[in-house]
Amino acid sequence: MAITKRTEQDKIEVVGEFKHIQVRTATVIEEDGVELSRSFHRHTVAPDSDSSNESADVKAMVAQFHTDTVKAAYKKYQEDNAPASE
């Protein structure tokens, strides 16, 4: 009777005007190859995020979708919508 735990990125999607990349990671517990439980963790990679610790699949999507144009538009959006300082 072998119990194993594994993680897999089972969903990676691009959403929104600024091409945020949403990543869902599943943690799967199995006993003798039969799944006992599955839980999920999600995180988002924004155009201004450091993606150096992401998986190769996520890095490929960052390279494709987080172009200089998207990064500049996202930066301008953040600046235009920043809370007013006193």
Provide the pLDDT for residue 10: 95
Residues 6+ apart with CB under 8 A from 40: 24, 25, 26, 27
Provide the pLDDT for residue 53: 96
Report the predicted TM-score, pTM, of the whole model to 2 decimal places: 0.85
Tell the burial category of 61 from Cβ atoms under 10 Å away from its Cβ (0-12, 13-18, 19+): buried
User: Along the 86 residues of the chain, how does pLDDT read in single tens digits?
Assistant: 899 999 999 999 999 999 999 999 999 999 999 999 999 999 999 999 999 999 999 999 999 999 999 999 999 999 999 888 76
Provide the pLDDT for residue 4: 96
> What angle (nearest 5°) sits at the alpha carbon of residue 70, between those of residues 82 and 13?
100
Under 8 Å between Cβ of 45 and 62: yes
